[in-house]
Structure 1
């Protein structure tokens, strides 16, 4: 059946949902398509379920840190029960999201989309025409091109494990490797992270990453850098992971091997060429309005867009809103990613807002660097956290905060303060004299600036 709409959205995650709901609120006819349960990565396969597991791991870690400091007794993670608790958040979500679309007047379609031409897609037996089409399909584990790649467990599969394997190898030292590695270690697994490069978490400040690496190894997670995985063979419970290191070939044994080597936009099977949409390994090529550079009828948002933004849920929501506004108003706004925060939910968390030192130097900026180990400060000592640091970049002449890098308790929430300061152009002197509640992480700011 052929149907026509003002806007056709592919993807029901945070970016696609923002586009659909805002365009519908503006009076446009809207269709939305997904081949998976409605809700996208964040609500079903990423941020939300992951943070449930992180919360349990944090309790275990804090109890261990506080042993001998007034806390005693046994505590452990019951993995099957934890996964059942996680499911209370994820299981109802697809129906809730789809019902929300229907109530708003957005017409839902289930199936994989494929472009037929510049303004239409095929979904099963339906053909959907759109004055505007928005690609917001998110990302998928990147193809690694290694032998036995089909043996790798995806992050979404990890989040549904009914039993936690005893020995886990993570291929890659990015967000997934560190976050899921820290969860698994606190739940009792033996964890190894194999990272090809010389430095993991390369988008974060490397001094803080180095301290996080020490903390990671202190909880018996084996982090190997300069280790290129070349193949996986065997079966669940008896995998062998082949790798090349500076000292030669090495073999690692595991009950499960997890893909943690990055994600890529899931656009390969959309047949974008039929719509004349240019794309590369980072996604659909877009202009500042998030409009395809080669087909003006098509927009992209979130992980599907090569926009230069970070792979973060708030950015996907922001881009979805921006796309909706540009469709409705006619390309009046361009994307602005100033002050975007990013956090690795390791234990402790690692946060970053704004520029790194390398980026600030590359731009030729004149700035000072305020940094310190804060493990002896009250905010870290009271919870016995040995890994706590910060690094703040401040432009000398203007007092602008160029970047903030945080490791330690509540680093995720503290990063939000700096994100607001950078985006709202609140200068260092103003923040330094703010009257924050004590004792909190924000109350440390006067000493950091």
Structure 2
């Protein structure tokens, strides 16, 4: 194996593999380095396995909604069988990803990359020389520094549980907490979600978050808000959690779901003049770090863009272009974000709160779609939407959706916003009916 490369990519997840494949196709001599599982977080221990587990939740909720309107009996979640189904997918990711890279004749190394000096790094002692480097090392679950923090488990552990404990507690009310609490509750656990203030999912519309929490509360999830966890102790009857206000809870499993931290603290970045902090590696609008020969893409970079797998892919394609034919600054499209709970919560573009602050320009259509045919047909418990329309152009510029179909609807709305379509534009199309897409003209 050569030790001199045009580009070294650090991180074998969605961003890193996309960069390596793209550069190899452009004729670059590339090495990709991974210290853990090939394929990265998303397919191994993130979005993909979570969505597999969620499939059972969706089926159970659908059956619950149709009780006495076409179905009798609600299925139980068979956790070991569901986990086996998940592992049937995830167990193949590492070897499959590595085989795919080797099939493209991309050099690979498994080990810890560490910068020694400009143009030089080591991978577990092997010295590598390179012209440019792309860092795509992602993030890892944060662990709160409370007394007894060693008792915390993470989303990684939850997504590979052999059995579901009777009592499960999540500490942190972000995406991960809500999604995994939804799964654990549907699987029969007694679920608590502890959050340090009264505003979980703070990036989302407040009224929609409250509606989601009401749905989850009805399903059995218990929310303990304004509770700042102080300690975890192991006792005979389980793990004892105590907060600053004196609130106490006994549980069998406690998951720290209080965000994620960038994997940027073990690379020797100070040796090559790369600035980084708790939000990740600083980059400019060309995704270059403070060292112009080193780029950072995906979750490890400090950008205001949501940390999502498709964003990592978008940035990877951009950096491939920059390293082969440098051009304009990166220009992001509108990016949807969502919470895979029950129901699902999704948003894109301008928020209702931002629009309300500019009433002369924007109007917010606040819609209760629960009785619309799309949702009535499967007895949906609730379906809500807020759509922001620019009054001067008639174009949708933002949306928030809460429903069992929110993940599908948000993609339609993203296309409408990105393509700047008006109601008149939509009505020039004939879409299959009755479907969620045929509802779009009524959202403006």
Aligned with residue 403 of structure 2, among 398, 408, 425: 408
Match of 1:276 in 2: 273
Match of 1:80 in 2: 80
Match of 2:204 in 1: 204
- Superimposed CA distance per residue, residues 270-293 of structure 1 (whole angstroms, 9 cap, x where no aligned partner): 12111110012111110111111x
Given the superposition, is the C-alpha separation of residues 405 and 269 from structure 1 closer, same or farther in structure 2, using an over 3 Å criterion?
A: same
1:360 positional shift = 4.0
SS in 2 for 1:241: strand
1:143 positional shift = 3.8
Aligned: 1:302 with 2:304: no
SS in 2 for 1:249: coil
1:426 positional shift = 2.2
- Superimposed CA distance per residue, residues 238-267 of structure 1 (whole angstroms, 9 cap, x where no aligned partner): 1011113xxx32011110000111011111
Whole-Å separation in 1 of the counterparts to 2:428 and 2:37 = 48
Whole-Å separation in 2 of the counterparts to 1:231 and 1:378 = 49
Whole-Å separation in 2 of the counterparts to 1:210 and 1:432 = 34
Aligned with residue 319 of structure 2, among 306, 323, 326: 323
Of 332-341 and 6-15, more deviation after overlay is shown by 332-341
Q: Which ranges of structure 2 fall in alignment gaps of 5 or more residues?
A: none
Matched ranges for 1:315-354 at <5 A:
315-330=311-326, 332-354=327-349
Whole-Å separation in 2 of the counterparts to 1:333 and 1:76 = 53
Whole-Å separation in 2 of the counterparts to 1:392 and 1:431 = 15
TM-score normalised by L of structure 2:
0.96
* C-alpha contact 2:385 2:402 (8 A) present in aligned 1: yes
Whole-Å separation in 1 of the counterparts to 2:105 and 2:419 = 36
* C-alpha contact 2:143 2:256 (8 A) present in aligned 1: no
Whole-Å separation in 2 of the counterparts to 1:305 and 1:187 = 35
1:431 positional shift = 3.0
TM-score normalised by L of structure 1:
0.95
Given the superposition, is the C-alpha separation of residues 279 and 432 from structure 1 closer, same or farther in structure 2, using an over 3 Å criterion?
A: farther
Match of 2:386 in 1: 391
Q: Which ranges of structure 1 fall in alignment gaps of 5 or more residues?
A: none
Whole-Å separation in 1 of the counterparts to 2:44 and 2:98 = 13
1:137 positional shift = 0.6
1:361 positional shift = 5.6
Given the superposition, is the C-alpha separation of residues 220 and 31 from structure 1 closer, same or farther in structure 2, using an over 3 Å criterion?
A: same
Match of 1:170 in 2: 170
Task: Compute the RMSD of aligned alpha carbons.
Answer: 1.7
Aligned: 1:9 with 2:9: yes
Whole-Å separation in 1 of the counterparts to 2:427 and 2:151 = 52
SS in 1 for 2:247: strand
Whole-Å separation in 1 of the counterparts to 2:207 and 2:22 = 42
Matched ranges for 1:186-335 at <5 A:
186-234=186-234, 238-244=238-244, 248-292=245-289, 294-330=290-326, 332-335=327-330
Whole-Å separation in 2 of the counterparts to 1:233 and 1:263 = 24
1:117 positional shift = 1.5
Of 339-348 and 138-147, more deviation after overlay is shown by 138-147
Whole-Å separation in 1 of the counterparts to 2:249 and 2:165 = 15
1:415 positional shift = 0.7
